[in-house]
Chains A and B, each alone.
Chain A
Amino acid sequence: MKIHIKNGHLIDPKNKIDTKRDVYIAAGKIAGIGSVPDGFVANQTIDATGLVVAPGFVDLSARLREPGFEHKATLKSELLAAAAGGITSLACPPDTDPVLDEPGLVEMLKHRAKQLNLAHVYPLGALTRQLEGKLLTEMCELTEAGCVGFSQADMAITDTQVLWRAFEYAATFGYTIFLRAEDYYLAKDGVAHDGEIASRLGLKGIPAAAESLAIASILRIAHETSTRVHLCRLSTAEGVELVRTAKKQGVQVSADVSAQHCHLTDHDVGYFNAQANLKPPLRSPRDKAALCQGLKDGTIDAICSDHTPVDDDAKLLPFAEAEAGATGLELLLPLTLKWATDNKSTSFDAIAKITSQPANILGISGGHLSLNADADIAIFNASQEWKVDANQLKSQGKNTPFLGLTLAGRVQYTLLHGQITYQNS
């Protein structure tokens, strides 16, 4: 199968391309950029006039809910959503049921994803057994089974001795640790940013210090043990500043932010809107501004969808009882483009945050369109507006704070290994 994508505007951050170029695909690989390979005769031509052609997006955090939570989502429903969102590679956290702490489970997940052939699924293995923060998992075995790093999902390791040893052990083999930094005790039972809004609404707060204290410890341990650490979903200004300083000091640290947190604050909780119940909590406007600035100056490397499908029964409850999380795969592109527009950044920089940068962090081959690379491609209309409508979302998770809002940026085609996995009708 040979495909010619013609007249599109190619944005490939890794190869520093941001111009009009045709793309030629043969045998699932990139066969040519800009010039026709010798003897190339296309079986199919995609007219990308007025569209952007980019590497398929790479998402650092997408919960697929399998195994264990199939009533919330299935691998198939969520990978279809990923394709509709232009995402061709995604990392999934280990907080499934059972937890991804056994090589057999990881192999099964990889196998199921491969059969569906809608996106590359890169599991993050559990850093500790059952995510209990006590015993280390078999990291080498898990890596052989397909894990690209190790994570505690939303569970904290409260025992600093265990945390230290987990870092040392991972560093032994050069593995990356993915942590969402949050002090367990300061965050306990909290549901909203500890500030004026939570105080007014009488919601139990999670202070910003819950994040900055945890980041300070993690960065110190990463530095002492020479471990590569990725901080997931920063939410505070202090957190961004700590990462900025650590990077200057040469700590091997990278960081991401969720697409929601680039746009929303605790003010969006309004009158107890459970859609705005997220983890980490939506924080103050000052924090949001620092996150956006951190993205711009490179302190924050990537934007993730933090895709967390939540069923209606779990959302249709008073704010504090509602399950945290929002669907995000199909919103990653428009929310990332909107970050660029709102912060006077470029589409090129925005696309880097969801392609080459997260691919680097995961240490995977995707996220660029070099010659002979896998033809994982997203073709989108950057200005096409669409309304976020629960009935139109492919994901089984229909809950998001952006429901009913109009966003710009619509994927037209997604290709995986040179095969069209999604086409906007």
Chain B
Amino acid sequence: MHNPQLDANGKLKHLLTIEGLPKKILTQILDSAESFVGVAERDIKKVPLLRGKTVCNIFFENSTRTRTTFEIAAKRLSADVINLNVGTSSQSKGETILDTVDNLIAMHADMFVVRHGQSGAVHFIAQHVPDNISVINAGDGRHAHPTQGLLDVFTVRRYKPDMHNLRVALVGDVLHSRVARSEIHALTTLGVPEVRVIAPKTLLPAGVEKLGVQVFHDMKTGLKDVDVIMMLRLQNERMTGALLPSAQEYFKTFGLTQEKLSYAKPDAIVMHPGPMNRGVEIESHVADGSQSVILPQVTYGIAVRMAVMAILAGRQAGGGA
């Protein structure tokens, strides 16, 4: 089946999901991100790679954090940035998703960064844009959040460079998580030999083991000897009802505490995509502790998003990145 993210030469045309991307492209993005980490530490935090280009952030679902990091990444590359919160404007007036996109195409944007509440909505947009526009998925439903997956493996690689000798555990709501799906694909593509998921059965999708993960239902065995713990966010509306009885019971069974952290390797790192529910999925003591790399994740997020945009712009210019 034709992979809609790649062009005829196998170059990255859109970034829609990690699944199906060759290891070579993932590595290219991560290596390129390394060079952008340095940019943020300089006095003048700008490079001219996207000068004259217009990046349009189209958010059909509200988000402050992700939109801001994409905006900073684009601006550091010298692009012009337009932010559009469609969730609060056109959609409520009955405009269809394609109407919205057609209007933005008419405004000659070069790159769309899209978030949408429906799985597959960003693929749908990518199928309908002209060839000169690249689309970056900033999160679609439960499907994918590829830049988050990339920044997470970037962070892992920085702290644990030997990816072929790692044990990684994802903890929490895998069922509803686009982050989890992207993390799993990124880790397995880069050759991490053992990826685990730890969750109650109500928060795991059908056939999750087919994604190449081992399934655990308790923290003690699941966290044993792991090098990396990736916590997942538990949405408020899922804390009570038929998925889970209460936030308290969830914290007791699957929340990451100092005690449960001790099951992992002593030098294990703790990650979280944010925003955190302190006292639900993670204890403050752990979130702010010495093993936490949650804030570096945010910093690296900008570098990774710069790398993705630069590579896509490089293809648009007709060259490599």
Chain A residues engaging chain B, CB cutoff 8 angstroms: 194-196, 198-205, 207, 270-272, 274, 313, 316-321
Contacts and interface: CB of A to CB of B under 8 A. Distances in A.
B159 interface: no
Contact of B206 (A207, A274, A313, A321): A207
Contact of A271 (B123, B142, B205): B123
B207 A317 contact: no
22 contacts: A196-B206, A199-B206, A199-B207, A200-B181, A201-B119, A201-B120, A202-B119, A202-B120, A202-B141, A202-B178, A203-B119, A205-B205, A271-B1, A272-B119, A272-B124, A316-B96, A317-B124, A318-B116, A318-B118, A318-B119, A318-B120, A320-B141
Given A318-B123, A321-B118, 15 more contacts: A194-B206, A200-B19, A200-B211, A202-B181, A203-B119, A203-B143, A207-B206, A271-B1, A271-B123, A272-B123, A316-B96, A316-B98, A318-B97, A318-B124, A320-B141
Contact of A198 (B96, B123, B206): B206
Contacts of A200: 19, 181, 211
B203 to A, nearest CB: 12
Contacts of A319: 118-120, 124
B55 interface: no
A319 B121 CA distance: 7
Contact of A272 (B120, B142, B208): B120
Interface of B: 1, 4, 19, 96-98, 116, 118-121, 123-124, 140-144, 178, 181, 205-208, 210-211
Contacts of B211: 196, 199-200
A203 B120 contact: yes
Contact of B207 (A195, A203, A272, A318): A195
B119 A196 contact: no
Contacts of B123: 271-272, 318
Contacts of B1: 270-271
Contacts of A207: 206
Contacts of A205: 205-206
Contacts of B141: 202-203, 320
A196 B207 contact: yes
B173 to A, nearest CB: 12
A324 to B, nearest CB: 14
A196 B204 CA distance: 12
B35 to A, nearest CB: 31
Most-contacted residue by chain B among A200, A270, A320 (CB, 10 A): A200
Which 8 pairs show the lowest CB-CB distances between chains A and B? A202-B142, A272-B120, A202-B143, A199-B205, A202-B119, A318-B121, A196-B207, A319-B120
Contacts of B207: 195-196, 199
Nearest to B98: A316
A184 to B, nearest CB: 15
A292 B140 CA distance: 35
Contacts of B120: 201-203, 271-272, 318-320
Nearest to A321: B118
B4 A198 contact: no
B12 to A, nearest CB: 16
Contacts of A271: 1, 4, 120, 123
B97 to A, nearest CB: 7
Contacts of B116: 318
Contacts of B206: 194-196, 198-199, 205, 207
Nearest to A268: B1
Contacts of A272: 119-120, 123-124
A202 to B, nearest CB: 3
B62 to A, nearest CB: 18
B90 to A, nearest CB: 15
A319 B97 CA distance: 12
A336 B19 CA distance: 35
